[in-house]
Amino acid sequence: MSAITVFSAKKIITMNPARPTVTHVAVRDGKIIATGTIDDILGWGDYSLDDSFKEKVIMPGLVEGHCHLMAGGIWKFIYVGYQDRVDPDGNDWPGVKTLEDVQARLADAEAKLGPDEPLVAWGFDPIFLMDRRLDKTDLDAVSSSRPIAVMHSNFHLMTVNSTSLSLANYVADMDIEGIAIGPDGTPNGELQEMAAMFPIMRRLGINFREVGRSRESVIDFGKVCNRVGVTTAADLINDLPDEDVAEMTDITNGSDYPIRLMSLLNGLAQPAEETSARALELKKKCTDKLRLGAVKIVTDGSIQGFTARLRWPYHYNGAPNGIWNIAPEQLNELVAILNEAGVQMHIHTNGDEAIEVALDALEMAKIQKNRPDLIHVLQHCQMADRAQFRKMKRLGVAANLFANHLYYFGDKHYELTMGPDRALRMDACQSAIDYGVTFTIHSDAPVTPMAPLFTAWCAVNRLTESGRTLGEYEKITVAEALEAITLGAAATLQMDHEIGSIEVGKWADFAILEDDPETIGAEKLKDVGIWGTVLAGEKHKIP
Amino acid sequence: MKIREKPLPMTVLAGFLGAGKTTVVNHLLRHAGGRRIMVLVNDFGELPIDEELIATKEENILTLANGCACCSMGGDLYAAFSAALDFIPPPDHLLIEASGVAEPKRIANFARAEPDLAMNGIVTVVDALNYENARSDARLSEILKNQIQTAHMLLLNKCDLVGSQDIERHKKALRKLNKSAPVLTISNGILAADIFFGIENPMPGSNPAAENEHHHSHESNFSRWSFKTEGAIDKTGLREILETLPSSVLRLKGIFKSLEDGQLWAVHKVGSYVDFSHLTTPDNFSGKTGFVAIGLSSSNLTEIMDKAFASLEE
Ligand SMILES: [Zn+2]
Ligand SMILES: [Zn+2]
């Protein structure tokens, strides 16, 4: 029989209502064998005591239920965002607060590049677009010979310099949507949407898919998770060809890889039957640390991009309704086929019409064949109203709410996209609780930074970037938010029998905290210090 | 910067679910006339493309998954277009079978922006059987309208399955939404490849048999018109003429010397879309300049074209 290690801590928050807080947790073979006081544990036999966390607080390893591997790979490019960030290797990237800061950051990076390398930056914040927009002349000042591309934080816009423009022959007004024209009648460097950005990306070699699936990205992704206390994360869309699965298996098997990784198959890349067959095949390739077999389906676009599908009265500013990625009729078919086959679905739905259509599809599929073994999840689910939460409850459908939106895009939703009524109830965590809907909250990193305690802070305080409180009623308590980022997320990944709480039989996956999130105060939840994590009993201190 | 030697012509085939896009694709592949066609499939709801028509499936058919840019960072679009552009051997034509809910213009914009692609038009298939039904679904009516409005050519398919009164009613409805695009009535997705892909060889004279002669394609009554001219042509005037041609002129291609800069230009027109481009590498150029058009033979194409181009020569 292998040895027992007992970790002691100032406080252990278990998420197990039968023993909510304890001082000791005993681990054997990577799993929790006992919790309680040292006396409670003694009966299990010999143990070695590890008291390195005696001044720290332990909680279940945090679970990020919706993010992307790109959150690791994106750091290959230069960060020019407004908020302070730390890269996977622990380097500080202070937020750039003015256009001059942006230029200085770029000039700095430019000086370190080889002669033929393009300069690519990411995370540029729309806050800079309030008065004067960044344009090619700002970037020409950084370099007039090296191609430069600055990706905006929403990934829908980029600004490039004159060298990049001429590479793509963007030298005159070609009357193409998405290529902005300056006062002199020539492209000013701002490019909108993929069609306009593609020629530049192709010539500069900015290939996000390759970046995201690269070995370094998967490794860096693990580091990003570790820094924020995450021990299980779901990569929400992937093509998952065999060679990538083999590589991901190899990387995650490494004892130094600090997380359990779930990766979802793109459900719109092949006919429904093929998706279903591939998902079932992938399910057989699961390991303790790599989870496969679930499918992602994208129905609409994004609210901030005005591409989400909204019900009447549509967009607050009168913008036309958004786009479908799959026709409702076709979704019905796909959902029915996957449900019947026993494949778990995570359905991207931002607008309330997309939510309605997805719920109708799930309802029909469940009438055809009830699969109580499956919990399907609406991802983002931002505009759901209370009737839709009641329907989710009725259908046994879970929600992963995009709480980070409250902070990052809440003002925009209040003023432009949804208007006050719907903005005040967006990402309605309290409604989910009211109706007993299984739910979690997410970052969608790299769209917004991964940090579940920040995401929890968003759900608890509902503060926007400008300081507005976005809907008093939908605020949840700290305890509820902590459950959402552990057990709640684990449930949406159908892993709540293995992770999400510190209970006998579950994996010994812990977040090791410097402060107590239960007592630090709701407004400071995002500031809880993180030492690192424990995965299956192994310590992973943030380097 | 062009990476390819010659831009790859790209046509977007749009149309709502079940309208018969794949039938059209299958027919075009069967009658490609030696063109190497790469198909980028963005719709997984329709019948699959006939596998017999494709030498090796992996090689000539690429798939383009749908996704929200916020989740995929546009990675799918990037991968699909770069695969098509880097493909060896290079195809002669890129045909994108857009998904039933795609805005074809968004896809067509890739061809307009990318120097290695040449925009060859948006063709939208409309289901004569189910059109009115689909238009009445509030969740889809806008996108269907968008697909019709942004088309350069409209194919009213399944016309063998509806009465002539219905066809006329649909045609009227389509013209109300899109005045400039020709509406072709077809059945079983049957359409001449020249009409879909454009005229293969724009240089009149290189195919003497076809010159100045009415040509009847095997599927339907289309005629061909051509015009040889050595003289320099006023580009602005030409654009005006092309833009005012009736919609019965389906496609036009030409090479001419410009009065403004004395250089050689290529022009191509599909529906209301007129595109001029500098003829940069005329190495295989026959030296002959002129224009070729295809139109509905019922419309007196020769008369229309001769009249339009007469004003140009003055
Ligand atoms: Zn996402
Ligand atoms: Zn998304």
**Domains identified in chain A, total number:** 3
Say which CATH number the domain at A282 has.
3.20.20.140
DSSP A301-325: --TTTT-S---TT--TT-PPP---S
Mean pLDDT of A438-445: 97
Q: Is A193 within a domain? A: yes
How confident is the model over B273-288, as pLDDT tens digits?
A: 898 888 765 555 667 7
Q: What are phi and psi of A208, to 5 degrees?
A: -60, -35
E runs forming strands in chain B: 8-15, 37-41, 61-63, 93-97, 117-127, 153-157, 183-185, 222-228, 232-233, 249-258, 264-270, 273-278, 290-296
Q: Per the CB < 8 Å rule, is A357 touching B139? A: yes
Q: Is A270 within a domain? A: yes
Chain A to chain B, count of Cβ pairs less than 8 Å apart?
A: 159
Which H helix or E strand runs over A65?
Answer: strand A62-67
How confident is the model over A162-185, as pLDDT tens digits?
A: 999 999 999 998 888 899 999 999
Say which CATH number the domain at A35 has.
2.30.40.10
Q: Per the CB < 8 Å rule, is A326 touching B114? A: no
Output the CA A298–ligand 2 centroid distance in Å.
8
How confident is the model over A198-235, as pLDDT tens digits?
A: 999 999 999 988 888 999 999 999 999 999 999 999 99
Q: Per the CB < 8 Å rule, is B71 touching A444? A: yes
Asked whether residue A493 falls in the same domain as residue A373, the answer is: yes
Find chain B residues with C-beta within 8 A of A447's C-beta: 70-71
Rounded to whole angstroms, the Cα distance separating A533 from A512 reads 5
Task: Find all residues with CB under 8 Å of A265, minimum gap 6, and list them.
Answer: A238, A239, A240, A275, A278, A279, A282, A292, A293, A294, A295, A296
Q: Per the CB < 8 Å rule, is A327 touching B140? A: yes
Residue in chain A nearest B42 by alpha carbon: A269
Across all residues in chain A, what is the average pLDDT? 95
User: For residue A261, which amino acid is it?
Assistant: L
Mean pLDDT of B232-249: 90
Q: Say if residue B67's pLDDT is above 70.
A: no
Output the CA B71–ligand 2 centroid distance in Å.
4
Position A255 confidence tier, pLDDT thresholds 50, 70, 90? very high
Asked whether residue A517 falls in the same domain as residue A500, the answer is: no
Output the CA B162–ligand 1 centroid distance in Å.
44
The answer to whether A152 touches A124, Cβ cutoff 8 Å, is yes
Full residue range of the structural domain in which residue A462 is found: 228-507
Q: Is A81 within a domain? A: yes
Q: Is A493 within a domain? A: yes
How confident is the model over A116-126, as pLDDT tens digits?
A: 999 999 999 86
Neighbours of B286 (CB within 10 A): 12
Q: Which of A155, A174, A271 sits opposite B70 (nearest CB)?
A: A155
pLDDT of residue A19: 96
Residue in chain B nearest A265 by alpha carbon: B65
Q: β-strands A295-298, A290-291: how paired?
A: unpaired
Rounded to whole angstroms, the Cα distance separating A112 from A108 reads 7
How confident is the model over A257-310, as pLDDT tens digits?
A: 999 999 999 998 889 999 999 999 999 999 999 999 999 999 999 998 889 999
Rounded to whole angstroms, the Cα distance separating B10 from B107 reads 10
Q: Does A324 touch chain B (CB under 8 A)?
A: yes
Output the CA A170–ligand 1 centroid distance in Å.
31
Q: Say if residue A408's pLDDT is above 80.
A: yes
Q: Is A219 within a domain? A: no
Q: Is the dihedral of CA B245, B248, B251, B254 positive or negative?
A: negative
Q: Say if residue A130's pLDDT is above 80.
A: no
Position A505 confidence tier, pLDDT thresholds 50, 70, 90? very high
Domain boundary pick from A176, A209, A242? A209
Alpha helical stretches, state H, A112-213: 136-140, 162-167, 193-204, 208-213
Q: What are phi and psi of A164, to 5 degrees?
A: -65, -45
Alpha-carbon distance A133 to nearest alpha carbon in chain B (angstroms): 22
CA dihedral A231, A541, A24, A496 (to 10 degrees): 0
Q: Per the CB < 8 Å rule, is B77 touching A326? A: no
Q: What are phi and psi of A95, to 5 degrees?
A: -60, 145
pLDDT of residue A133: 85
Position A104 confidence tier, pLDDT thresholds 50, 70, 90? very high
Find chain B residues with C-beta within 8 A of A348's C-beta: 68, 71
Residue in chain B nearest A164 by alpha carbon: B1
Q: Which of B72, B73, B110 sits opposite A195 (nearest CB)?
A: B110
Interface mutation target, options B72, B107, B109, B275, chain A, most CBs of A under 10 Å: B72
pLDDT of residue A154: 81
Output the CA B65–ligand 1 centroid distance in Å.
15
Rounded to whole angstroms, the Cα distance separating B257 from A49 reads 89
Alpha-carbon distance B117 to nearest alpha carbon in chain A (angstroms): 10
Find chain B residues with C-beta within 8 A of A333's C-beta: 45
Asked whether residue A364 falls in the same domain as residue A495, the answer is: yes
Q: Per the CB < 8 Å rule, is B115 touching A168? A: yes
Asked whether residue A295 falls in the same domain as residue A376, the answer is: yes
Asked whether residue A387 falls in the same domain as residue A472, the answer is: yes
SS3 call for B148? helix
ipTM of the complex: 0.88
Find chain B residues with C-beta within 8 A of A172's C-beta: none
Asked whether residue A278 falls in the same domain as residue A232, the answer is: yes
SS3 call for B88? coil
User: For residue B192, which amino acid is it?
Assistant: A
How confident is the model over B21-44, as pLDDT tens digits?
A: 988 988 888 888 778 889 888 877
Position B57 confidence tier, pLDDT thresholds 50, 70, 90? very low
Q: Per the CB < 8 Å rule, is B75 touching A194? A: no
Interface mutation target, options A330, A347, A352, chain B, most CBs of B under 10 Å: A330
Tokens of A319: 């913008």
Asked whether residue A125 falls in the same domain as residue A161, the answer is: yes
Residue in chain A nearest B116 by alpha carbon: A199
Mean pLDDT of A74-99: 93
Neighbours of B283 (CB within 10 A): 5
User: Which ligand has the minimum distance to the alpha carbon of residue A445?
Assistant: 1
Task: Find all residues with CB under 8 Å of B255, minimum gap 6, and list them.
Answer: B202, B203, B264, B265, B266, B267, B279, B285, B288, B289, B290
Residue in chain A nearest B1 by alpha carbon: A167
- What size, in residues, is chain A? 543
Q: Does A193 touch chain B (CB under 8 A)?
A: yes
Alpha helical stretches, state H, B56-157: 57-60, 69-72, 75-86, 104-113, 131-135, 141-149
Asked whether residue A536 falls in the same domain as residue A449, the answer is: no
A70-83 b/e (C-beta count within 10 Å ≥ 16 → b): bbbbbbebbbbbbb
Interface mutation target, options B62, B73, B278, chain A, most CBs of A under 10 Å: B73
Domains of chain B plus CATH, in order, are: 8-191 (3.40.50.300), 199-309 (3.30.1220.10)
Which H helix or E strand runs over A261?
Answer: strand A260-266
Q: Per the CB < 8 Å rule, is A329 touching B3? A: no
Position B210 confidence tier, pLDDT thresholds 50, 70, 90? very low
Percent of chain A topping pLDDT 90: 91
Q: Does A413 touch chain B (CB under 8 A)?
A: no
Q: Is A238 within a domain? A: yes
Q: Say if residue B202's pLDDT is above 90.
A: no
Output the CA B68–ligand 1 centroid distance in Å.
8
Asked whether residue A385 falls in the same domain as residue A336, the answer is: yes
Rounded to whole angstroms, the Cα distance separating B10 from B90 reads 13
Q: Per the CB < 8 Å rule, is B65 touching A300? A: no
HSE at residue A427, side-chain half, CA atoms within 13 A, is 34
Q: Is A304 within a domain? A: yes
Output the CA A351–ligand 2 centroid distance in Å.
11
User: Which ligand has the minimum distance to the alpha carbon of residue A298?
Assistant: 2
Task: Find all residues with CB under 8 Å of A23, minimum gap 6, and list them.
Answer: A8, A9, A10, A11, A12, A36, A37, A38
Q: What are phi and psi of B210, to 5 degrees?
A: -85, -10
Rg (C-alpha) for chain B, rounded Å, is 19
Neighbours of B277 (CB within 10 A): 12
Task: Find all residues with CB under 8 Å of A145, minimum gap 6, and list them.
Answer: A163
Q: Is A157 within a domain? A: yes
Cα A123–A128–A131 angle (5° rounding)? 160
Q: Say if residue B203's pLDDT is above 80.
A: no
Q: What is the DSSP letter of A529?
A: -
Interface residues on B facing A, Cβ-Cβ cutoff 8 A: 1-3, 16-17, 44-45, 48, 63, 65-79, 81-82, 85, 99-101, 103, 105-107, 109-110, 112-115, 139-140, 142-143
Rg (C-alpha) for chain A, rounded Å, is 24
Asked whether residue A302 falls in the same domain as residue A236, the answer is: yes
The answer to whether A340 touches A368, Cβ cutoff 8 Å, is yes
Asked whether residue A165 falls in the same domain as residue A92, the answer is: yes
pLDDT of residue B207: 43
pLDDT of residue A175: 87
Asked whether residue A479 falls in the same domain as residue A368, the answer is: yes
Domain boundary pick from A209, A243, A272? A209
Rounded to whole angstroms, the Cα distance separating A347 from A338 reads 12
